[in-house]
Amino acid sequence: MDKFTITHLKELESESIYVLREVAAQFEHPAILFSGGKDSIVVTYLAYKAFYPLRLPFPLLHIDTGHNFQETLDYRDELVKKLDAQLIIGSVQQSIDEGRVKEETGFYASRNKLQTVTLLDAIERNKFDAAIGGARRDEEKARAKERFFSHRDEFGQWNPKNQRPELWNIFNGRKNMGEHFRIFPISNWTEMDVWQYILLEKIPMPSLYFSHQREVFERDGQWLAVSPFIKMKPTEHSVSKLARCRTIGDVTCTGLTLSKASTVEDIIDEIAASRVTERGGRADDKRSETAMEDRKKAGYF
Amino acid sequence: MGLLRFSTAGSVDDGKSTLIGRLLYDSKSIFEDQLQAVEQASKQRGNEEVNLALLTDGLRAEREQGITIDVAYRYFATPKRKFIIADTPGHIQYTRNMVTGASTADLSIILVDARHGILEQTVRHSYISSLLGIPHIVVAINKMDLVDFSQEVYSKIVADYKQMAARLHIGQVEFIPISAKLGDNVVNPSSNMPWYQGQPLLGYLETVSISHKAGSQDFRFPVQYVIRPISSQFPDYRGYAGRVSGGTIHVGDRVRILPSGLESTVGGINQATDELAEASSPLSVSIRLKDDIDISRGDMLVRADEGQPQVGQDFTLDVCWFNENPLQLRNRYIIRTATAETVGVARAINYRTNVNTLEREIGVSQLDMNDIAEVVIHTSSPLVTDAYAHNRVTGSLIFVDEATNETVGAGMIK
């Protein structure tokens, strides 16, 4: 006899809401790292549910690479208006202008790595003591070792070999001045869980996730969007295709999936049949075997 | 679809990585780019076969040294259930990681090499599983292909295990003879062992009862946060946010607030805009009461007509120590439960358990990293708790070092 009837989505939702409430209780200045991707949208939605009818107790912090899809920015601004939330923007362009970072050049130039400096600057400037992110353990092998409450030293660095043990649902957010935490409320969700939850809760999503006609070109077996932010090689040619994003980063590193999926149900079917992980479309992870761990140690999301 | 969390403990030699790899591969949860990356990495390391351990060993140091250091979480789903694997290293110097992985598990898989039978590490894994109150244990007797799929070997190991387990408080135990390497009884039933009548491992994982998640019968609600919008739309709204950590609560139920002991009646339960008539473990909700009472984080709501938790300052605990700085008698530690925090001192170490032999060692003056012992503590303010055997959420606590803020130990209330 099995009387237990709560679905895995309800259990995951409850776990994430529990974590978000712990953040509000244990920290003074938390912020949600909002990228405009589905994971940070779901985290923001869970935060809305966790504190209703209170207004979102966290500002949204967007690290703007200046290389965004326009659709991402439109969605962000609309969401901020709807939730009456506070939006704080950390600009990579400004970090470049101030000489804090140096722009990469060439065909593979990306501002992905530069974001780390802008992010750490924004955390310091706004005195954030907790940055809430949408990272999931199933995404990537270094992320599989992340805690829900992940401690960062005064340089914003992660020390994977000396993480605090995390038992039951007791989260230790104690820290010294100048240190902060990264918090990952949807650690235990998979890509499939995220989409099933979006379907269940009818969360509106950016149009980029759905099939649309777009000018694209092929590079190293990946489809990339034609954009003023990417320099095309003379051998590369633009074509118009029906495509969608499976993950959303900035334009330079987001591979598009050729797809006819135009509803959330279609996307779920497509993921169920897919034999490649979502980060298989991310050029930033392919730089080396432990590219993610190296970036995370330095303070990346 | 339900969710089952299980932990595995073991070293590379007993085929744990192969088993996890097999579960992921046969349930089609490994993707092409992951497999490609592992194939490439195996080749670079000069491994002849694809080394499935590289799927779970994510950190640079782990890959370089070929060992699992930390708990790694893996995910897969079948049409029947979603699974979360807490994959932990099995060596004695990683006892603390095993404890961490086991703390949230519904089930523990203990691997036994059919050629070697019950070893010290089998005892250790079983002891930790019972200490952490894991409701189900599966003893997977692996490498059956290397003992000619012999029923006799299997039966002897089952009998030996039962004899050992009689000394532990172990719930339900299931024995499954498998070959992780060849796939026998992992996902598909084995044609090599017709004498085995039970389900293959995956079938068992898909159907084992998870009704224990409803927790103890008694309602427990540690308050995390008070929601007070003080807005024109909700001028008097006051909701107590938390996660139901046992039992069920209904609108209209009489509740007691601890430690104050004041009583009130549930006026409403909600999840964002949804008004609920009742809520059960493990749902996160917010609860409104009919009376204005001073309630804050760290307090606990319980039902007035059910069994009550303990409110006290003196506790006897099973403690697992995590830190290089030993636990010393009379040292001060921050003591944290799910939502409450106070300060405490260790007053006595009654005995330390040898995790390989289960013998109790008395006359111990300090606890070193990975030690497990029965300890008596005294706290500066009262905590609301249950016995761990009764409720894993309200019966657990952690020790935090005041100087470094690190989590240095974990305790289970007796």
On chain A, the residues whose CB falls within 8 A of the CB of B71 are 145
Closest by Cα among B70, B71, B103 to B318 = B103
Q: Do residue A144 and residue B74 have CB atoms under 8 angstroms apart?
A: yes
Torsion, Cα A98 A102 A103 A107, to 10 degrees, reads 170
Tell whether A159 is within 8 A of chain B (Cβ).
no
pLDDT at residue A195, rounded to an integer:
94
- B287 vs A contacts (CB less than 8 Å): none
Mean pLDDT to the nearest integer, A270-288: 64
List pLDDT tens digits, range B121-154.
888 889 999 999 998 999 999 999 999 999 999 9
How large is the average pLDDT for residues B340-356?
Answer: 94
Chain B residues within an 8 Å CB radius of A141: 55-58
Q: Do A275 and B61 touch (CB under 8 A)?
A: no
Question: Residue B224: what pLDDT?
Answer: 97
| Predicted pLDDT of residue A285 | 55
Average pLDDT rounded to a whole number, residues B273-293: 94
Per-residue pLDDT tens digits for B187-206: 889 999 999 999 999 999 99
Judged by a CB distance cut-off of 8 A, whether residue B73 touches chain A is yes
CB contact under 8 A, A293 and B233: no
Per-residue model confidence (pLDDT) at position B38: 73
Cross-chain residue pair A137–B273, CB shorter than 8 Å: no
| Interchain CB distance below 8 Å, B56 and A144 | yes
Residue type, A20: L
Q: What are the chain B neighbours of A170 within 8 Å (beta carbons)? A: 336-338, 396-398
Q: Complex ipTM, two decimals?
A: 0.91
The verdict on B322 touching A (C-beta cutoff 8 Å) is: yes
pLDDT at A284: 56
- Which residues of chain B does A138 touch, with a Cβ-Cβ cutoff of 8 Å? 73-75
Min Cα–Cα distance to chain B from A125, Å: 24
A13 touches chain B (CB under 8 A): yes
Q: Which of A11, A49, A141 sits opposite B3 (nearest CB)?
A: A11
pLDDT at A29: 95
Q: Is A53 on the interface with B (CB under 8 A)?
A: yes
The 10s digit of each residue's pLDDT in B33-74 is 677 777 777 777 776 666 666 666 555 555 555 555 678 888
pLDDT digits (tens, 9 = 90+) for B202-228: 999 999 988 776 656 899 999 999 999
What pLDDT is stored for residue A68 in this prediction?
Answer: 82
Please determine, for residue A276, whether its predicted confidence score (pLDDT) is greater than 70. Answer: no
Does the CB of B387 have a partner CB in chain A at under 8 Å? no
Q: For residues B173 and A91, which has the higher predicted lDDT (pLDDT)?
A: B173
Residues 6+ apart with CB under 8 A from B238: B226, B227, B228, B288, B289, B292
Is B284 in contact with A176 (Cβ distance < 8 A)?
no
Q: Is the pLDDT of residue A2 over 50?
A: no
Which chain A residues are Cβ-neighbours of B334 within 8 angstroms?
A: 174
Q: What is the pLDDT of residue A279?
A: 60
Determine the Cα–Cα distance for residues B192 and B145; give it in Å rounded to an integer. Answer: 9
Residues 105-144 of B with CB under 8 A from A: none
Whether A168 sits inside 8 A of B103 (CB atoms) is yes
Number of A:B CB contacts under 8 A?
185
Using the Cβ of A160 and the Cβ atoms of chain B, whether some distance falls under 8 Å is answered with yes
Distance CA A234, CA A108 (A): 14
User: Residues 185..224 of B with a Cβ closer than 8 Å to A: which?
Assistant: 209-214, 224
For an interface test with B, the pick among A9, A169, A179 (most B C-beta atoms closer than 10 Å) comes out as: A169
pLDDT recorded at residue B6: 95
pLDDT band at A1 (very low <50, low <70, confident <90, very high): very low
A178 touches chain B (CB under 8 A): no
- State pLDDT tens for residues A164-184: 889 999 999 999 888 889 999
- Pairing mode of beta strands A87-91, A60-64: parallel
